[in-house]
Structure 1
Amino acid sequence: MPPQIAARRTDRSATELGSEEPGPVGLRVRRIIEERIITNALRPGERLSENDLAAQLGVSRQPVREALIRLSEAGLVQVLPQRGTVVTRISAARAESARFLRASVECAVAREAAAKADAAAIARMRSLIADQADAVRAGDHAGFLALDDALHRAFAAATDHEDVWRILHNVKLQMDRVRYLSLPDATPAARLLEQHAAIVDAIETRDRDAAEAVMRLHLSELLTSLPRLIAAMPEYFDEKR
C-alpha cells in the first residue's frame, strides 16, 4: 500500500485572508506558503513559480518574493542559480534536533502544568482529546494534527507560558513536515491519544514526575516513525544526517 500524505491545500486569496489574519500582505502570504509546505501540499523538491503563486493568491509578485526569502531563511525553500526556487527536502537531522528541543521545553511545561493547571484548563485539554478521537474516526489526519498543536499549546497556556509555544514555531518546522507524512504503522493515532490522556491524567492528579515522563515518551515517537518514513519516501528527505 503506498504511503498516504496528509495535505491541507489553502487556496485562499489575499482578500479572504485579510479578514482572518493580521499583519502585512507579505506575512500573510508567507503563512499560506509555509502551511502548504508543512502539510506537503507543496512537496519536497517541487519547483515554485512566483508568478503562479501570485496569481493563486491574488497578490503581486513582491509579497510572494518577500515570503520566499523568509521561507529560505527558515530552511523550507532553496533558491538555486538558474533553476529558480524549490521546496527543500525534509532535513531528518533538523527534525531530530527539533524533537530534542521540544522535549526539553515541553517536559518542563508538563511538570509546571501539573502544579498550576486549573479545572478549566484541564477541561479544555479533555475536550481537545475528544475532538482528536473524532478526527481519528473520521480519518481526518490533518485535523488530528491541528488539534495536537492546540493541545500542546493548551499545556503551555496552563502554565501562563503560552509564548513558549510561539517561540517553538520556527524551531519545529522540519518536525512538523514529518508529522504530516502519514503511514498506517508509522505512529498509530490510538497510541498518541492514549499518551495525551495519560499526560492530562497526570496533570489533573498533580503528579509532576508522571506528567514529565509521559510527555518525554510521547515526544520520542518521532524517533521510531522517522526511519520508517525515510525508508518509504526517500525522495522526500535530505540524505545528509
Structure 2
Amino acid sequence: MKTEQNSTWTLDLAASITPQITRILRERIIQNDLKPGDQISESELARGYDVSRQPVREAFIKLADQGLVEIRPQRGTIVTRIGYFAVLDARFLREAIEADIAKILATDPNAAPIADLRQQLTRQVTIGRDDPTAFMQLDETFHRTLAQAAGKAGAWKQIEGLKSQMDRVRYLSLGEIRVDKLIEQHRAVVDRIEAGDIAGANSAIRFHLREVLNDLPQIIQGNQQFFDLPDGDMPPPVNAPIQGGNIA
C-alpha cells in the first residue's frame, strides 16, 4: 500500500481516531489514490499512524459496509471495484431524498440559505475548470447546504454513506467534467427554490442528479478495470427520461 501524501490525510491524535481513519481511507478510495485491487494493511496503517490496530480494524468494517473494501480473513483487506448496480441504486436513492429536500426549501423559501447558495455559485464560477478537485468539494458543500437548510442534516449523513460508489465514478471523470453545465444546473435549482416553484425545484434537482447517467457509459468504457460489471461486460444504456416536475 502506497504512503499517503495529502496533508488532509493526517491524524489529529487528540480527536477520535476511528472516524478520522475511516474518512482518510474513504477519500483515498473515492479519489482513486487507492485503486481497485490495492491491498490495505491493518498493521502498516496502525504503525504509520502510531495507533493501535483496533481503530484501523473498526475503520475497515465501516468501509466494508459502504462497499469500498472487502475484508478477507487471513488474506488482508482489498479495495473493491465500483459496483455498476451500486452506482445506479445510490443515484436513485439520492435523487429521491434530494428531490424532497428541494421541495421543502421551495415550499417556504428562506433568504439566508439562498444568499449562501448564491455566494457558493460565485465561488464555483471562480474555480471553474482550473481545479476540478476543488470544484468537486464545492459541489459537495452545495448539496450539503441544501440538506442543512431543509433541516435534513441527518439525511445528508445517510446520503454520504450511500453515494460512495457514485463519488468514485465522478472522480474518474474529473478530466471530462463539464463545470459550466453543472454550475448552471445548480443555479437552476436555487432559482426555482427562491421562486417558490416546488415542481420546478423538484425537476431541476432530478435533472442535475441524473447527469451521471449521461456520462456513465463513457466513463466505464475508458476505465473498465475499475468496475464490477454485470456478467463482466458493458451494460446496456442507463439513461432514463426525466419525470418532469410532477409531485405525487
Q: Hey, what does 1:108 align to over in structure 2?
A: 100
- One-letter identity of the residue aligned with 2:148: A
d(CA) in 2 for partners of 1:95 and 1:59? 34
Q: Hey, what does 2:168 align to over in structure 1?
A: 177
Per-residue deviation, residues 151-201 of structure 1 (Å, max 9, x unmatched): 11111222222222112121111111111112544x411110010011111
Per-residue deviation, residues 122-141 of structure 1 (Å, max 9, x unmatched): 1110111111222224x222
**Structure 1 stretches of 5 or more lacking a match?**
1-6
Alpha-carbon deviation of 1:62? 2.4
d(CA) in 1 for partners of 2:77 and 2:105? 43
Of 137, 142, 145, the residue aligned with 1:154 is 145
d(CA) in 2 for partners of 1:196 and 1:61? 42
Alpha-carbon deviation of 1:58? 3.0
Alpha-carbon deviation of 1:118? 1.4
Q: How does 1:118-197 map to 2 (within 5 A)?
A: 118-137=110-129, 139-185=130-176, 187-197=177-187
Alpha-carbon deviation of 1:206? 1.1
Q: Hey, what does 2:27 align to over in structure 1?
A: 35
Per-residue deviation, residues 100-122 of structure 1 (Å, max 9, x unmatched): 01111111111211122311111
After superposition, the Cα gap between the structure-2 partners of 1:218 and 1:28, relative to the gap in structure 1 and judged at 3 Å, is same
| 1:216 is aligned to 2:213 | no
Alpha-carbon deviation of 1:52? 2.6
Per-residue deviation, residues 24-54 of structure 1 (Å, max 9, x unmatched): 3122211211111111111121111223322
| 1:232 is aligned to 2:213 | no
After superposition, the Cα gap between the structure-2 partners of 1:163 and 1:62, relative to the gap in structure 1 and judged at 3 Å, is closer
d(CA) in 1 for partners of 2:75 and 2:214? 35
Judge which range, 36-45 or 55-64, deviates more: 55-64
**Structure 2 stretches of 5 or more lacking a match?**
236-248
Of 183, 199, 202, the residue aligned with 2:189 is 199
Q: Normalized against structure 2, the TM-score is what?
A: 0.84
d(CA) in 1 for partners of 2:181 and 2:197? 21
Matched position secondary structure for 1:210: helix
After superposition, the Cα gap between the structure-2 partners of 1:234 and 1:134, relative to the gap in structure 1 and judged at 3 Å, is same
Counting aligned pairs with the same residue, the percent is 41
Q: Hey, what does 1:13 align to over in structure 2?
A: 10
After superposition, the Cα gap between the structure-2 partners of 1:60 and 1:110, relative to the gap in structure 1 and judged at 3 Å, is same
Q: Hey, what does 2:55 align to over in structure 1?
A: 63
After superposition, the Cα gap between the structure-2 partners of 1:116 and 1:160, relative to the gap in structure 1 and judged at 3 Å, is farther
Judge which range, 189-198 or 176-185, deviates more: 176-185
Q: Which fold has the larger relative contact order, with Cα–Cα distance below 8 Å and residues 6 or more apart in sequence? A: 1
Provide the alpha-carbon RMSD of the alignment.
Answer: 2.1
Per-residue deviation, residues 190-229 of structure 1 (Å, max 9, x unmatched): 1100100111111111111111111111011111111111
Q: How many residues align?
A: 228
d(CA) in 2 for partners of 1:30 and 1:170? 11
